[in-house]
Amino acid sequence: MDGDMIARLGYLGLLIVAVGGYLLVEFRGRMGQLARGVMSWGLIFVGVMAGYGLWQDMGGQYVGGQTVTADAVTLPRANDGHYYVTLDIDGTDVDFMIDTGASNVVLTRGDAQRLGIDPAGLAYLGTAQTANGSVRIARVMLENVTLGGFVDDALPAYVNEGEMFGSLLGMDYLRHFRVEIADGQMILRR
């Protein structure tokens, strides 16, 4: 423990003694009422901390919130700093993280399975360089890709053989849009 930590613990101990002393004097002879009050506030504090922790955990995973108009799709920036979008691919909603640094559209094996693609039956002939190193990929074609009022009949994509936290929407798709980022929003227009 360094000196800074010892000073903080000393201050916390002094604060606990001051507040505890006040409570003992104020509730002298009514210790049951004091115990109920302390328990109530303790449970409220634990509930608030648990709620805050869950909110922080869910914040980066939240994918909804895209707004569709006739000529644009507006995406709010998520708490983790990324932009997420949901595409309808042949009747199945698939969530993507937008990655302007990625050349391609890359599906997780789980998303590929949801789209009726068998990852085990694919020929992983290509490789991709990622932040985690080289991974094998298999090319697939996605049909009937819809985002708001924008429909594409065919979109080349790749299924990643490695582990991914979510599918990535790269420039193969984004190049069809004019992309604007301002005020915590990404706006996609055609």
58-97: pLDDT as tens digits: 554 444 588 888 889 999 999 889 999 999 999 999 999 9
Residue where the block lists tokens 């423990």: 1
Task: Compute the C-alpha angle 63/120/128, nearest 5°.
Answer: 65
pLDDT tens, 110-142?
A: 999 999 999 999 999 999 887 778 889 999 999
The whole-angstrom separation of Cα 59 and Cα 64 is: 11
Average pLDDT, the chain: 89
| CB-count exposure of residue 113 (10 Å: 0-12, 13-18, 19+) | middle
Q: In this predicted model, what pLDDT tens digit does every residue of 20-43 receive, in sequence order?
A: 888 888 888 888 888 888 888 888
Which contiguous run of DSSP H or E holds residue 137?
strand 133-147
52: phi > 0 → left, psi -120 to 50 → alpha, else beta; which?
alpha
Write phi, then psi, for 136 (nearest 5 degrees).
-85, 145
User: What is the reported pTM?
Assistant: 0.66
The pLDDT-based confidence of 2 (bands split at 50, 70, 90) is confident
Whether residue 188 contacts residue 173, with contact meaning beta carbons closer than 8 Å, is answered with: no
pLDDT at 88: 96
State the pLDDT confidence band at 56, using cuts at 50, 70 and 90: low
Per-residue model confidence (pLDDT) at position 133: 81
> End-to-end distance of the chain based on CA atoms, in angstroms?
59
Give the residue among 135, 179, 178, 175 at the shortest CA–CA distance from 158: 135
DSSP state of 78: P
